[in-house]
């Protein structure tokens, strides 16, 4: 009890020093000293600035997490590798990333998939420069991906496979996960196309420097594309915190899908892309979101096959061992 009161008094003192505390906030803190504690901070990693990760900021600003007694610390990484390293060493609690990150869990990293974020590959698209007129023009070309072994890497390989070009029908080229590096990779000619956030293609089209050729859902339908992974320490030591965080996330998705203006404003600010472009992207990708966070056996089976095809694992893994839905509402 003394520790709780000490933390409360320190928090109040800090707020008073900054002149940012109102009477209402102060009264609320005194009435409910356990509402937001230091142990209720959840450090959340995201690999890029794309629209698919922007709801995290929306939930922060609209109070969805705060209403669950959760303070979110958003951590922006350039790609999944550094983010997974942070999760492994315990400096990140939860990550939003490509579903193929389940391969890390299969290999022993201290994490499990705890929720589906998107269940269609609409947020990811094949973005091309002005010289590419049709998908057939991409045969034998370099395709930009975030990095080897990611969901974008697999989608590049699947583009060749589904169009009958063979295993070496395209050459994936790592260009990073930041919007600027993906656009630079395409515009500079390092790659003739990139698998990236669909909104980038819409932005380039508005600029006359490229376009969205297709969403990846066109050739890989019903794919669990983006998922949420939690560190096993969070699951075991603070399970109720994880449950409340997930409730805040699902409340955020509900708000995101019913308040377009607010969602677009945040997404444009986070991504640095034009609001008009982000508005069009919002309309394009809205059907992809999981409203309940749940995933199916069929989705896990498709994902397991993908991990083998990428070469991340040798045999079809049982992804039930590295995933759980027990923390979802």
Return all residues near 11 (Cβ < 8 A) that are at least 6 apart: 29
What is the pLDDT at residue 78? 76
Q: In whole angstroms, give the CA distance from residue 155 to residue 140.
A: 15
Q: What are the structure tokens assigned to 13, written together?
A: 């003192």
**What is the CATH superfamily name and number for domain 41-120+224-322?**
Periplasmic binding protein-like II (3.40.190.10)
CATH ID of 124-218, from 3.50.50.60, 3.40.50.410, 3.40.190.10, 3.40.50.300: 3.40.190.10
Q: In whole angstroms, give the CA distance from residue 203 to residue 111.
A: 35
Each residue's pLDDT tens digit in the chain (329 positions)? 434 334 433 443 343 344 433 333 333 333 343 444 545 999 999 988 888 899 999 999 999 999 999 999 999 987 777 888 999 999 999 999 989 899 999 999 999 999 999 999 898 899 999 999 999 999 999 999 988 888 899 999 999 999 999 989 999 999 987 778 888 889 898 999 999 988 889 989 988 999 999 999 999 988 899 999 999 999 999 999 999 999 999 999 999 999 999 999 999 999 888 999 999 999 999 999 999 999 999 999 999 998 998 888 888 899 999 999 999 99
Alpha carbon distance, N-terminus to C-terminus of the chain: 30
What is the pLDDT at residue 27? 33
Domain boundaries, the chain: 41-120+224-322, 124-218
Written in H, E and C, the secondary structure of the chain is: CHHHHHHHHHHHHHHHHHCCCCHHHHHHHHHCCCCCCHHHEEEEEECCCCHHHCHHHHHHHHCCCHHHCCEEEEEECCCHHHHHHHHHHCCCCEEEEEHHHHHHHHCCCCEEEEEEEECCCCCEEEEECCCCCCHHHHCCCEEEECCCCCHHHHHHHHHHHHCCCCCCCCEEEECCCCHHHHHHHHHCCCCCEEEEEHHHHHHHHHHCCCEEEEEHHHCCCCCCCEEEEEEHHHHHHCHHHHHHHHHHHHHHHHHHHHCHHHHHHHHHHHHCCCHHHHHHHHHHHHHHECCCCCCCHHHHHHHHHHHHHHCCCCCCCCHHHHECCCCCC
Q: In whole angstroms, give the CA distance from residue 158 to residue 165.
A: 10
Return all residues near 278 (Cβ < 8 A) that are at least 6 apart: 51, 199, 264, 267, 268, 271
What is the pLDDT at residue 39? 53
Same fold, 41-120+224-322 and 124-218: yes
What is the pLDDT at residue 183? 86
Q: What are the structure tokens assigned to 12, written together?
A: 């109040």
What is the pLDDT at residue 248? 98
What is the pLDDT at residue 16? 38
Q: What are the structure tokens assigned to 193, written together?
A: 């196309």
Q: Are 141 and 193 in contact (CB under 8 A)?
A: yes
């Amino acid at each position: 009890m003394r520790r709780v009161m000490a933390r409360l008094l320190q928090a109040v003192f800090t707020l008073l020093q900054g002149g940012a505390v109102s009477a209402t906030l102060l009264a609320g803190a005194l009435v409910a000293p356990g509402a937001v504690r230091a142990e209720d901070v959840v450090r959340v990693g995201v690999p890029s600035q794309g629209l698919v990760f922007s709801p995290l900021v929306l939930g922060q600003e609209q109070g969805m997490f705060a209403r669950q007694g959760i303070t979110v610390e958003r951590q922006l990484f350039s790609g999944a590798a550094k983010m997974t390293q942070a999760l492994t060493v315990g400096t990140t609690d939860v990550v939003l990333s490509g579903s193929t990150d389940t391969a890390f869990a299969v290999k022993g990293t201290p994490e499990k998939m705890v929720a589906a974020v998107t269940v269609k590959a609409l947020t990811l698209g094949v973005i091309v420069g002005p010289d590419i007129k049709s998908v057939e023009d991409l045969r034998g070309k370099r395709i930009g991906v975030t990095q080897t072994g990611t969901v974008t890497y697999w989608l590049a390989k699947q583009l060749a496979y589904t169009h009958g070009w063979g295993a070496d029908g395209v050459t994936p080229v790592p260009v990073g996960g930041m919007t600027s590096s993906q656009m630079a990779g395409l515009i500079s000619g390092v790659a003739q196309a990139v698998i990236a956030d669909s909104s980038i293609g819409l932005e380039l089209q508005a600029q006359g420097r490229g376009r969205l050729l297709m969403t990846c859902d066109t050739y890989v339908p019903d794919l669990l594309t983006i998922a949420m992974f939690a560190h096993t320490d969070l699951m075991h030591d603070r399970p109720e915190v994880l449950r409340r965080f997930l409730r805040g996330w699902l409340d955020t998705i509900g708000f995101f899908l019913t308040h377009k203006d607010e969602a677009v404003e945040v997404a444009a600010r986070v991504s640095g892309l034009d609001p008009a472009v982000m508005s069009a992207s919002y309309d394009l990708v809205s059907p992809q979101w999981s409203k309940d966070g749940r995933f199916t056996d069929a989705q896990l089976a498709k994902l397991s096959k993908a991990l083998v095809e990428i070469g991340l694992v040798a045999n079809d893994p049982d992804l039930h061992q590295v995933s759980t839905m027990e923390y979802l509402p």
